[in-house]
Amino acid sequence: MVVAWGRSWHEVPPEIDLLFRRFARPRGRGVTTSVLMNMSLTTNSSRIDTTTDRRAVRADTVITALHTLSRELDAAPSLEPGPAVDELFDRLVRLVLAVPDACVAEIMRDPAIAVIGARLRELCARGETALETAWAARIATAATPRAELEQFPYLDNYRRLSRMEVGVLASAATTRVRSVAFVGAGPLPLSALFIAGELNVPVDLIDRDPLALDAAGAVAHTLGYPDLRLVEADAANADLSRYDIVVLAALVGTGPGEKQRILAHLASAMAPRSILLARSARGLRTVLYPAIDVDAMTAYDVLSVVHPVNDVINSVVLARTSSGQ
Ligand SMILES: C[S@@+](CC[C@H](N)C(=O)[O-])C[C@H]1O[C@@H](n2cnc3c(N)ncnc32)[C@H](O)[C@@H]1O
């Protein structure tokens, strides 16, 4: 397939522009930003008429649009949240969600998508970290932190994803859960806080970045979770043998082969017959977050894989470690 590299947004093909407009998010929720990051995630976009769009959307134009977005994000002076950066991420996520399933296989077969996807995942990881860092500081320093949290544009998205995850976990936990580790908690550890609240269980926040942990600790403390432990460790060599459940964030292990190496380590570092909930992605959503190769998880008993059919972006893989005998 020939990819028309180098178009600017002024030259976006009409069918892609149509997708963007269909997925335009309503404004006016008290914030002007519309970035759809962390969203480990969901958006509030409406469903698409796939019958019409299957005819209208061509794989090469989607790839061109993704490439253009990647170049524009690359050219941004910083990925800190702000109107220009928010707009680019907003377009990216809306595009990913809007492309009809019927086109996705062809897009994913194109060799160009591997290169563009790798770059976009890197940019998304940086953008998400910047967004979380900015909001963590806002919440931790606010006079009324809970009121500030309510201003976070994607609070509901976090809640919806966490509810999905808690539901998946409940399907596997046969005994009372006593301890949870959230690996890759990030500066704004809302998912971990929701899980702690929903399961009424202590959650250790694990991250390899001490600055992310400082920010996460301040947010947890200010929101009334003073007892959560902060653990500075790399998923690639952490000891996780004291937990009943380990949650692995989507952005832990983004480089080539890294996710697999981390999953291999966790299989031996977790307690025998403990539960792993690992965030993944499928289809075109893998340009935002890395996919887990479930077939390669031979050291685990894979219990279920949930691919949302709504606008939640992350899939989740639920697995149990072996008995260790
Ligand atoms: C941006 S946060 C957000 C988490 C996000 N909600 C998700 O599901 O991925 C991702 C965090 O993962 C951490 N991280 C990335 N790789 C890691 C690793 N190998 N071990 C521990 N933490 C890691 C980063 O430091 C960062 O703070």
Query: Each residue of 250-302: pLDDT tens digit?
Result: 999 987 799 999 999 999 999 999 999 999 999 999 999 999 999 999 999 99
| Model confidence band, residue 28 (pLDDT cutoffs 50, 70, 90) | very low
Euclidean distance between CA atoms 301 and 204, whole angstroms: 24
Work out the burial of residue 109: count CB atoms within 10 Å of its CB; fewer than 13 is exposed, 13-18 middle, 19 or more buried. exposed
Half-sphere exposure of 191 (CA within 13 A, CB side): 33
Report the nearest-CA residue for atom 5 of ligand 1.
Answer: 249
* Whether residue 52 has pLDDT greater than 50: no
pLDDT of residue 41: 39
Question: Going along the chain, which residue ranges are E strands?
Answer: 180-183, 203-207, 230-232, 245-248, 275-280, 300-306, 315-321
- Reported as a pLDDT band with limits 50, 70 and 90, residue 176 is confident
Q: Whose CA is nearest to atom 12 of ligand 1?
A: 184
Mutation choice for ligand 1 from 42, 164, 207, CB with most ligand atoms inside 8 A: 207
Q: With 50 as the cut, is the pLDDT of residue 141 above it?
A: yes
Q: What is the mean pLDDT of residues 45-57?
A: 46
User: For position 40, what pLDDT does the model report?
Assistant: 40
Q: What is the DSSP string of 172-217?
A: T--S----EEEET--SS-HHHHHHHHHHT--EEEEES-HHHHHHHH
Q: Is the pLDDT of residue 182 over 60?
A: yes
- For the ranges 56-65, 117-126, 180-189, the lowest mean pLDDT is seen at 56-65
Whole-number pLDDT of residue 47? 36
254/221 Cα distance (integer angstroms) = 29
Query: For the chain, which residues make up each domain, given as ranges?
Result: 9-143, 150-321
**Three-state secondary structure call for residue 125:** helix
Asked if residue 202 has pLDDT above 50, the reply is: yes
Nearest to 228 by CA among 191, 265, 262, 270: 191
H/E element, 307: none
pLDDT of residue 20 exceeding 60: no
> Percentage of the chain surpassing pLDDT 90?
70
Domain 150-321 has CATH 3.40.50.150: yes
Q: Does the CB atom of residue 235 touch ligand 1 within 6 A?
A: yes
Question: When comparing pLDDT for 43 and 262, which is higher?
Answer: 262
Q: pLDDT digits over 77-98, tens only?
A: 999 999 999 999 999 999 998 9
Q: Tell me the CA–centroid distance for residue 319 and ligand 1, in Å.
A: 20
The pLDDT mean for the chain works out to: 84
Q: Is the pLDDT of residue 6 over 70?
A: no
Question: Hey, whose CA ends up nearest to atom 25 of ligand 1?
Answer: 209
* Residue 30: DSSP 8-state: S
What pLDDT, on the 0 to 100 scale, is given for residue 55? 52
Give me the sign of the Cα torsion angle 119, 214, 188, 149: negative
Q: What mean pLDDT do residues 7-11 have?
A: 35
Look at residue 4 and tell me whether its pLDDT is greater than 50: no
Residue 14 has pLDDT above 70, yes or no: no
Residue 173's pLDDT is: 74
pLDDT at residue 85, rounded to an integer: 96
**High-pLDDT (> 70) share of the chain, %:** 82
* Full DSSP string of 51-86: HHHHHH--HHHHHHHHHHHHHHHHHSS--SSSHHHH
Closest residue by CA, ligand 1 atom 2: 186
For residue 108, pLDDT over 90 is answered with yes
